[in-house]
Structure 1
């Protein structure tokens, strides 16, 4: 442990101690003033401390999960070690006790399949998840991701049904800046498959703006924007986007589809 981390833990411990001390002082002062039975006071105090401990545990667990997820996403997006990503994610799922965190990890595991074009495998995995009692955000991500996988598989009927089922959760989750780009990308893909090229183009452009430094999401939007440009006879613009994608370090499936689309573009030019 480095010195900075050590002092950080010391400060956090002191603050927690002061907070607990303050709560104890307030509770006992209130009890003395109101002549409340000491046993009741201790019971109330116990419940308060238990609640604080539970909340603290959940917050720290989510922080740890987020850190682990960033590490694994790096192995997926930078190292392209899909098997390692899937295996390590499954290990974490198996050892995680908190249901919300377990489900959070489970939603991310199929990325290992979809990154290599195994969309049916990703769908099968998702369909085995139970999100009935999950938060709105988790439900939004679940229905968004499942819609995306169906879209990429070309199953528009299933994609529309899935999106319709989870639309209110997806729209709520759209407000969360961490997920906006991904959800806009899925909506763009859905409109593309429906043949609504203008709406699709607008959504992909918005997704790119929100994606900021997420090169893989930007590349995904670029790919479909290029396809829209080809269909609307804007070949030079399509070529620029596809060449940009080729210059990036992309996930296998995005690179493969980009190369395929570039060949299609060249056939138009010949």
Structure 2
């Protein structure tokens, strides 16, 4: 056994030296747009993060991270406005303090709606719809649809190119980004206004060009008026009698209609094909209509 110890130490030292020799002596990435080649890149789950921050009671901020992001970036350096990004962001797990993490993923009481995400929340998904490159070619204004908590809303990202190069022979590009959303837009309303409605998002993304990277399936944009809510306007100011309700149902063809008063309690899920007709309480006079 004593003779084996020096040999083992020598072998370990040799492996350590070999591993160190394989590490680059200079950063492989640089903020040089000429290094970016066209094609489809895959998100690097280990190096793509979405940070979030909200104000808590006016004293301090809650913040945390989502990781393990997957998806694709398709880019043509000669036509940056045609770039397209489609990524999925797992909500569970979330990196945060133990108490906050537990609350974010806590199931609803007695099977009800959770305060925030709950344990079974589906991954969020962002799909770009347009890209407006900045004048310097290093930044871009990205518009897209974010689906979170089963609800899809438009979101804008101010993105910056941070670097490109090859790591162990794999072409890699990196970006940072910032966005601001309202969690109430996605049906997450617990604690507002004590916990801020506005959520700051801080993005850091790395994409790698790998053989066989495939284009994602397109995500349809949310239908803005799938319930034909605009067809209710002729009845604005009229009482929602049974006959009027039947006329509205026939005119819109909506399969689901909610007749709502200002204090009506409704579910927070967004359904583009559902018609919401809002009325004055006590008179049933129709004031507005929308999908959702």
Same fold (TM over 0.5): no
- Rg bigger for which structure? 2
What's the TM-score, normalizing by structure 1?
0.24
* TM-score for both structures, normalised by structure 2: 0.23
Say which structure is richer in helix: 1
Higher share of residues assigned strand? 2
